[in-house]
Structure 1
Amino acid sequence: MLKISKSVEYAILSLKYISDNNNFKVNSKTIASELNIPYDLLAKILQKLVKKEIVKSEQGKFGGYTLLVPSKDLTILQIISALDENVKLANCTFENATIEDCSRVKDCCIRNPFLNLQNKINEMFESITLQELIN
């Protein structure tokens, strides 16, 4: 039912690893190796985190990744959103759901309660920071 994707899981693990290294530059090969994450997938995840200005990337021999957003300020919802993902309760639990998402979207008796529950889930993810999760 409600599940966080592997990409989000790997992003959280990677951000924790970067944070645990006192924000010294950590290269992606080290992160992949230490955390046993497929390198190609990790590279895509880190690119998205760079694009959303959650981490900073420096190229070169002494390059690597550092956090731009302190772990105490980085919410789980920000991480999920940075990866262009969401954690949804059902296919209809977003405001602009269409009949392609669910054939009952127009007359479903549980859609509104599910929307309310989805909003509470989103609020929870918005209220939990990376620091709270990893400590």
Structure 2
Amino acid sequence: MKIEIRNIIEPDCEVIFEWSNDPETRHYSFISEPITWEEHLQWFYKKLSDKNCYWYHFSSEQTPIGHVRIEKNDVVIISITISPSFRKKGLGSSIIEAGCHNFWKSNNNDIIAYIKKCNIGSIKSFERAGFKKVFRNPNKK
């Protein structure tokens, strides 16, 4: 399967909203409540215009597969969402790697992924992409 990468654009807003409210996505998110369309629109356009947000769309034969968002602030944090119809197909690590390499074309920062312990699939995808597991003190603010 050939996977294409491009920057997120305005027409991606609706599919990102759908994926964001998918029950499995909400289950593995740190904030598990459903997102309203109004909240999503405000968040989406804020991220789209943020020069410190590197946001990539992945597709195959014009079918959306997922997206990777890397936000560069005090630390650089990566987030990934895979289309429900493409989960458990081994594509996560490929798009994580591609998103990171795209980011590193213009940045030299380490990237951190925060993942819930119960999200085994995501943990394995990040490990296959070269990330190292680090345990964080849950009591540290």
Q: TM-score range by the shorter chain?
A: under 0.3
Larger radius of gyration: 1
Higher relative contact order (CA 8 A, sep 6+): 1
Q: Which has the higher strand share?
A: 2
Richer in helix (by share): 1
Give the alignment's TM-score, normalised by structure 1.
0.26
TM-score when scaled to structure 2? 0.25
